[in-house]
Amino acid sequence: MRPIIYLLLFLLPASAFSQMPQNRKHRDVFPTFGNYDRKGWIIAPMITFTGAQLKPATQRLFTPDDRIYDVEYRGAGRPAVGIEVGRFYLTEHFRNLHSVEFSLGMKSLRGVERFDAVLDDPNRLTPFVLRGDGDFTFHYATAGFRANHVKQFSDFGFFQNSVGVNVDYRFSSEMRYNDRDLPITTMISDRFAAQINYRFGIGFKLTQNLLLVPSAETPILTVIQFDDMKSTMGVFNSRYRPILFRLSVYLLDKKAGRACPTKGTKRRNSESLFGMIDGKSPW
C-alpha cells in the first residue's frame, strides 16, 4: 500500500500541471524534420540522498548481565553523488509513450543511524543512557530502463513523467557502528537489487539538439530482493528511501550525411523550424 501512496504523491504535481489550460498547440520540442535524428545520448550527473523513516524504530535489549535497555534508533540521510550515461529513442505511434531510454552508471548511497539506550532501572533517580551511532557508504554499479511521457507547457518547456526499472549491484561498502558493547544486531541491504521506480522532471530545450531535464526519482517497489512490498532499504536498524536528483543532458544525434545550414542562411517559406514541410525529404 505504501508504494502506491508514494506514487500518488509524486503524481499529484504532474497531474496539476497537466490540467493547465492550453491556448495553442506548442511546437514539438523534439525535431520531426531537419538535421537531427529522433534519438541521441544522455549524460546525467546526480546527487543522491537517503531519506530516513519518520518514526524511529524501538527495541528492548536484554544483556548477559541481566540488564534491560529500551533503545530508540534514529536514521538520517546523507548526500552522495553518481553519474549515468545512456541512449534515448523517441517513439511516434504511441499516445502516452513518447520516448524510452537505457542507461549505465555508478552511484553512491550514504546514511547514518544514532541510538539512545535507556537502562530500565526504577531505583535510579536519573536515567542512565548509552548513546551510539553508525554510518554507511554503499557504491553501486547501476543499469536502468525508463518509459517517458511528455507534456509540453511552452515551445521550449515540458513536464516529464517516467516509470522505469533499475538494477543495482553493490561492489563496495564502508560501514562503522559503535554499539557501546550492547548486544545490538544490525542488518544490511542485499548486494543485488532490482526495483521499479518513478521519476518526475521539468525539461527545457536549449538549442535544436540540446535539452536539459532536472528530475527527482525514487523506487516504488523492490522486486529483488522482494521485501513485503517495501521500496526502502534496511541498514542497521532503520530503513532508508533512496532519492536521486538528476540533471540529465539530452543530445540529439546528427543525421548521417547531413550538414547544418550555414550561419545566417535565410529559411524559405516552405521550411518549418526543423525542415521542409512540402512532403519531400528535408532540404
Write the pLDDT tens digit of every residue in 86-118: 999 999 888 889 999 999 999 999 999 999 999
For the entire predicted model, the pTM comes to 0.80
The alpha-helical segments, DSSP class H, found in 91-213 are: none
pLDDT of residue 226: 81
pLDDT of residue 258: 58
pLDDT of residue 205: 94
Largest Cα span, the chain: 93
pLDDT of residue 114: 98
Burial class (CB in 10 A: 0-12, 13-18, 19+), 38: middle
Instruction: Output the CA–CA distances (angstroms, integers) from residue 168 to 78, 86, 270, in the order listed.
Output: 19, 16, 50
Residues 232-259 as b/e (b if ≥16 CB within 10 A, e otherwise) read bbbbbbbbbbbbbebebbbebeeeeeee
SS3 content of the chain, % helix, strand, coil (to 5): 5, 60, 35
Burial class (CB in 10 A: 0-12, 13-18, 19+), 160: buried
pLDDT of residue 282: 41
56/66 Cα distance (integer angstroms)? 25
Point out which residues pair with 120 in neighbouring strands.
none
Listed in sequence order, the residues at least 6 apart from 238 whose beta carbon sits closer than 8 Å to its beta carbon are 52, 53, 56, 57, 73, 74, 75, 111, 113
Q: Which of 54, 50, 57 is nearest to 186 (CA)?
A: 57
The answer to whether 74 and 113 are in contact (CB under 8 A) is yes
Q: What is the mean pLDDT for each group of 10 consecutive residues in the chain (283 residues)?
A: 48 46 66 82 98 94 95 97 97 88 98 97 92 98 97 94 97 96 93 96 94 97 86 95 98 78 54 43 40
CATH class of segment(s) 2-15+32-50+79-106+136-251: mainly beta
pLDDT of residue 94: 82
pLDDT of residue 265: 54
pLDDT of residue 88: 96
pLDDT of residue 189: 86
The answer to whether 105 and 84 are in contact (CB under 8 A) is yes
